[in-house]
A and B are shown apart, each in its own frame.
Chain A
Amino acid sequence: MSESTTPILSVRGVRRSFQAGERKLEVLHGVNLDLAAHGRLCLMGSSGAGKTTLLNIIGLLDRPDEGEVMLQGQDAWSLPNSSRAGLRNRILGFVFQFYHLLPELDALENTTLPARLAGARGTRLREYRSKAKSSLEAFGLGQRLHHRPGKLSGGEQQRVAIARALLMEPQLLIADEPTGNLDRATGDRVLDLLFEEQQRRGFALLLVTHDQRLAKRCERIVHMEDGQIQADSTTPIPH
Chain B
Amino acid sequence: MYQTFLSFRYLRARPISWIGVAGIFVAVSALILILSIMSGFLAETRNHLRGSLSDLLIQPHLDRVLMHEGQSVLPKRDSAGILEAVLEDPLVAGASAHYTWYGMLAAAGRERMLSDVNHGDLALVKLVGIDASEEYSVSNLEEDLKRVSLISDERVADPSDPFGPIPGYEPDGRPLDPILVGEQLARFWGLRRGRTLELVTAVLDPKTGNAQEAVSRSFVVAGTFRSKNNDFDMSTLYLPRSVMAEWFGAGREFTDVAVKLKDYKGTKAAAQASLAVRLHELGYLHDPEVTGGMEIRPWEDFQRSMLAAIENEKGLLGIMLSLVLLVAAFSVFAILSMLVQEKRRDIGILCALGASQWGVMGTFLMIGLWEALLGTLLGLGAGIWATLNINAIEQALSNTFGFQIFNREAYAFDHIPTVIEGGGIAAIVLGAFTASLLAAALPAWRAARLNPVEGLRHE
Contacts and interface: CB of A to CB of B under 8 A. Distances in A.
Nearest to A114: B353
A100 B456 contact: yes
Interface string B325-357: 000000000000000000001101111111111
B80 interface: no
Contacts of B5: 116
B351 A61 contact: yes
Contacts of B358: 82
Contacts of A82: 356, 358
Interface string A47-77: 0000000001001011000000000000000
Contact of B346 (A56, A98, A102, A118): A102
A86 to B, nearest CB: 7
A100 B349 CA distance: 7
Nearest to B14: A104
A12 interface: no
A88 B354 contact: yes
B354 A100 contact: no
B456 A85 contact: no
B352 A61 contact: yes
Contacts of B456: 56, 61, 96, 100
B11 to A, nearest CB: 10
B354 A86 contact: yes
A37 B353 CA distance: 21
Contacts of A89: 353-354
A113 B2 contact: yes
A86 B356 CA distance: 8
A90 interface: yes
Given A62-B453, A96-B456, A102 B351 contact: no
A88 B357 CA distance: 13
Contact of A61 (B6, B357, B453): B453
A185 interface: no
Contact of B355 (A62, A100, A117, A121): A117
A101 B348 CA distance: 11
A85 B351 contact: yes
B354 A118 contact: yes
B339 to A, nearest CB: 11
B407 to A, nearest CB: 52
A116 B451 CA distance: 22
Interface string A88-125: 11100010101011111100000001101111010000
A61 B353 contact: no
Contact of A102 (B12, B349, B357): B349
A164 B350 CA distance: 12
A117 B354 contact: yes
Contacts of B117: none
A85 B362 CA distance: 15
Contact of A90 (B9, B354, B359): B354
A82 B354 CA distance: 9
Nearest to B354: A89
Most chain A CB neighbours (cut-off 10 Å) among B346, B349, B451, B452: B349
A88 B9 contact: no
Given A104-B13, A105-B9, A116-B2, A88 B351 contact: yes
A6 interface: no
A56 B453 contact: yes
A81 interface: yes
B459 interface: yes
Contacts of B346: 102
Interface string B355-383: 11111000000000000000000000000
A117 B350 contact: yes
A119 to B, nearest CB: 8
Most chain A CB neighbours (cut-off 10 Å) among B5, B351, B352: B352
A85 B349 contact: no
B9 A117 contact: no
A114 B452 CA distance: 16
B136 interface: no
Given A96-B456, A102-B346, A102-B349, A85 B354 contact: yes
15 contacts: A56-B453, A61-B453, A62-B451, A62-B453, A82-B356, A82-B358, A85-B355, A85-B357, A94-B353, A102-B9, A104-B6, A104-B12, A114-B353, A116-B2, A119-B2
The 5 closest A-B pairs by CB, nearest first: A89-B354, A116-B2, A85-B356, A104-B9, A104-B13
